[in-house]
């Protein structure tokens, strides 16, 4: 089930973030509780729940035009959850008027293959990660869920 995160979900979001085995934070102190709180209370964080447990989330940053987070707990991958959450984040950026979204990811990861398959274009490198971009022009309305939040 897709829903919008609330502040009380932040601890669970951090658990999902720390459960992944790729795109691990080299310095966990770089992502603070304030960051989570900003995303939860501003553009919104999309959450995927299975039987009441949060197993994935995404967050877009309309200030920078990028995907800030996309994480699915190990064991729940390959079921379409990441694609749904990515669509929500892209929809958020598109609604904010972002025409070209960007994100970075570690090379040779499942995420790299995932973004390529989703049509993202590898345009270079940023901070030792791969830089991807995707056009979000108005005539290419991003397919998002029938958002109930």
Ligand X SMILES: CC(C)(COP(=O)(O)OP(=O)(O)OC[C@H]1O[C@@H](n2cnc3c(N)ncnc32)[C@H](O)[C@@H]1OP(=O)(O)O)[C@@H](O)C(=O)NCCC(=O)NCCS
Please, which residue, 43 or 82, has the CB nearer to ligand X? 82
Chain residue at closest Cβ approach to ligand X: 82
Query: CB of residue 22 vs ligand X: minimum separation in angstroms?
Result: 4
Closest to 36 (Cα-Cα) out of 63, 18, 55, 9: 9
CB of 88 to ligand X, least distance (A): 12
Q: In what order do the strands lie in the sheet with 100-105?
A: 2-4, 45-50, 53-61, 66-72, 100-105, 129-135, 121-126
- SS3 assignment, position 22: coil
Binding residues (CB under 6 A) for ligand X: these are: 20, 22-23, 70-72, 77-83, 103, 105, 109-111, 113-114, 117
Joined together, the tokens standing for residue 40 give 């939860």
Closer to ligand X by Cβ: residue 43 or 139: 43
User: Nearest CA to 66 among 133, 128, 11?
Assistant: 133
| C-beta closer to ligand X: residue 36 or 139 | 36
Looking at beta carbons only, is 98 or 114 nearer to ligand X?
114
């Amino acid at each position: 089930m897709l829903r919008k995160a609330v502040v009380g979900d932040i601890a669970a979001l951090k658990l999902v973030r720390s459960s992944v085995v790729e795109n691990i934070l080299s310095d966990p102190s770089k992502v603070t509780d304030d960051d989570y709180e900003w995303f939860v209370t501003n553009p919104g964080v999309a959450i995927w729940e299975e039987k009441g447990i949060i197993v994935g989330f995404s967050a877009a940053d309309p200030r920078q035009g990028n995907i800030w987070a996309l994480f699915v707990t190990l064991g729940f991958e390959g079921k379409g959850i990441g694609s749904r959450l990515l669509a929500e984040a892209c929809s958020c950026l598109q609604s904010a008027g972002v025409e070209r979204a960007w994100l970075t990811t570690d090379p040779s990861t499942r995420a790299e293959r995932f973004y390529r398959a989703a049509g993202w274009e590898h345009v270079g490198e940023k901070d030792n990660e791969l830089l991807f971009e995707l056009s979000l022009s108005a005539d290419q309305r991003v397919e998002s869920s029938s958002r109930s939040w």
